[in-house]
Amino acid sequence: MIETFRFALRGLAANKLRSGLTTLGIMIGVGAVIVLVAVGTGASAAVANSISALGTNLLTVSAQGGRDAGKPLTVADARALVDPLGAPDVATATPVVTSGNVSVTQSDTTASVRQFIGAEPAYLEATNSTIASGSSFTSTDLAEARKVVVLGATTASNLFSTQDAVGGQVLVNGLPFTVVGVLEAKGGTGFGDPDDMAVAPLSTVQNMLTGYGGLSQILVTARSADVMAQAQAEITTILSNRHGIANPARADFRVSNPTQVLAARSEATETFTVLLAAVAAISLLVGGIGITNIMLVTVTERIREIGVRKALGAPSGAILGQFLTEATLLGLLGGGLGVAAGLAASGLQISGITPVVSWPSVALAFGVSALVGLVFGGYPAHRAARLRPIEALRHD
Amino acid sequence: MTAIEITGLHKVYGTGSTRVHALRGVDMTVQKGEYVAIVGASGSGKSTLLNILGCLDAPSEGSYRLDGIEVSTFTESELSLLRNRKIGFVFQSFNLIPRTTALSNVELPLVYAGMARKHRRERARAALDLVGIGHRADHTPTQLSGGEQQRVAIARALVTAPTLVLADEPTGNLDSRNSADVLAVFDRLNTAGRTIVMITHEADVAAHAHRTVRVHDGRIVAGVLA
């Protein structure tokens, strides 16, 4: 056994460049499996994270700019949705106006805020946002349309860098606002930073930015995640009545469930992970074929040596063992290096996704690399073992 | 005591029009401790005879008793065991395993015999000393001259204490001085009691043997008896 191992090592050392390149093939295959699966897992994790950040019982009602310009969503619509009789499954409804890419200035620093939101204080709770420092704005702020604002984590650090934002002054479209709170970071999903935002009282935002037209959205929370469908139906009924809509296909509003959207996206990332893994598996297969190729060359080159060994009484099993061990060592060596390279590469950010190493995939890729050596080395080793000694000895 | 006893040996290669009758009824006996040279022109069948004597090939017909054992019906794996225990080969082109020290080369047959490492080393060193090359034990074949390589190969053939040492043109690739060295080693081994069968086409090499067997057209034409 030990001797077989020693013969195999000597065989590999005899042609270091060739062994090295073959090993590289397996290393790339194994490394690719680990990194690509980690990227896929990372993407899924980011989506799952944003689902939990949203909250699982949230529904949004948005205006659908109809061809016949339907009625806009109003604050009265939002109030009408909180109705213990007509809509027993609706817990809260919050009117929201949104203004995109608003520029906000703090002394010398100007930042473009992705979403400037006007809402009621209940908005934060409905969207699972928590205050990291300071406080939320109050109903009094809302009633008096005070110029106060709560900043998202990214916006706060863009404007104030490391300083405490709470109590600071910012200019929104040239008008001074006081920062009353900063939100806890929710974490990026890779599809637009949810922390690049600011929330101010609805009345203030309508005054300063959006005017008193329709609402952008009404955020509705259901009583629980189990009654989402009922809540959705109740909202549709109430709003259809209020907007005088007979044909549901021509509604001027739309009720959507963001969790469902994200669930679909998470399915998509799973498919994406499978595809990436398949690509990586193919490169591992190609590496395996490289082993077969090199081992066939090695066997052909060493026919005479095989003949001598057989003449000296080596049983077929010993020859088979020697070449199988060589091939398996190539596989294992490549696998080991591939794991190291894969883990190192998984530590980096890849197109905005933080890879999450999936340990079963590491174990699998390493195991497969050993198996690849065994399987793809099998045929050449079998050929070597089957050689007839007189023919092998006569070979030049 | 008989080392080799061959009767009515035939060997046929191929079928139909490509059929070659390499051996046509060979009878031959070699006693233990004998030193026999087999001579013959190329194509005479002497290589075929050597392959069969060396258990590298099986006869088509006839009987071959090596050390009293009938081997003509042996399977491939039985033959490899037999080669390991009973036969030591010396080839024209030395055939040492490349990038492997002289000592490891000599050890090789003992590895396949399953002997423990320590015991193997001792036997291999003794064999190298016997052919006068013990001081080169840690050199690889490329660091050795042709004569030295052939002496290592002889040590490898001896290390298992085989019934028969088979040499195929052992001096064919050597200059005259190295040839003389190698032949002197064979002479010494024979004096010490080893049975040697050597194929050669050089008369002065054959002259070292006790007896010369001449092969012509697949038959033995001279030197059948001791």
Lookup result for tokens 């074929």: A289
CB contact under 8 A, B83 and A311: yes
Residue A258 covered by a domain = no
* Pair of tokens at residue A135: 């406080």
d(CA B71, nearest CA chain A) in Å = 15
Q: What pLDDT sits at residue A175?
A: 86
In tens, the pLDDT along A311-357 reads 999 999 999 999 999 999 999 999 999 999 999 998 888 777 788 88
Number of domains in chain A: 2
Q: How many residues does chain B have?
A: 226
Average of pLDDT values for B202-206?
A: 90
Q: Report the residue from A10, A305, A312 with minimal CB separation from B112.
A: A312
Tokens coding A265: 């996206």
Record: contact A313-B83, CB cut-off 8 A = yes
Q: Which fold has domain B34-58+75-222?
A: Rossmann fold (3.40.50)
Question: What is the interface pTM, i.e. ipTM, of the complex?
Answer: 0.94
Choosing from A200, A229, A251, the residue where a domain stops is A251
Considering the domain architecture, whether residues A189 and A81 belong to the same structural domain is answered as: yes
Q: Do both A40 and A83 map to the same domain?
A: no
Question: Do residues A36 and A157 share a domain?
Answer: no
Render pLDDT for B154-173 as a digit per residue (tens, 0 to 9). 999 999 999 999 999 999 99
A312: nearest CB among B51, B76, B84: B84
The three-class DSSP label of residue A174 is coil
Nearest to A291 by CA among A377, A186, A208: A377
pLDDT score, position B65 = 93
Residues A233 and A335 in one domain: no
Residues of chain A positioned with their CB less than 8 A from the CB of B56: 311, 389-390, 393
- Return the pLDDT at A269: 82
Residue A335 lies in a domain: yes
Tell me the chain A residues in contact with residue B153 when contact means C-beta distances shorter than 8 Å.
none
Smallest Cα distance from A11 to chain B, Å: 9
Using a CB–CB cutoff of 8 Å, tell me whether B20 touches chain A. no
Distances (CA, A) of B190 to A160, B35, B187: 100, 7, 5
So what's the pLDDT on residue B225? 52
A227 and A283 part of one domain: no
pLDDT band, very low/low/confident/very high, at B226 (cuts 50, 70, 90)? very low
Quick check: A211 pLDDT over 90?
Answer: no
Residues A71 and A188 in one domain: yes
Residue A178 and residue A233 in one domain: yes
Q: Is there a domain that residue A349 lies in?
A: yes
- Calculate how close chain B gets to A319, using CA atoms only, in Å: 10
Q: For residue A3, what is the nearest residue in chain B, using CA coordinates? A: B111
Phi, psi of B108 (to 5 degrees): -50, -50
What pLDDT shows up at residue A189? 53
Residue bearing tokens 């793809």: A376
Please say if the pLDDT value at position A191 is more than 80: no
Gap between the Cα atoms of A355 and A110, Å rounded: 32
> Could you list the residue range(s) of the whole structural domain that residue A277 is in?
2-49+263-394
Assess whether A269 and A135 both reside in one domain. no
Q: SS3 helix, strand, coil % of chain A, rounded to 5? A: 55, 20, 25
Instruction: Provide the terminal-to-terminal Cα distance of chain B, rounded to the nearest Å.
Output: 13
Among A200, A221, A251, which residue terminates a domain? A251
> Per-residue confidence at A68, pLDDT binned at 50, 70, 90?
low
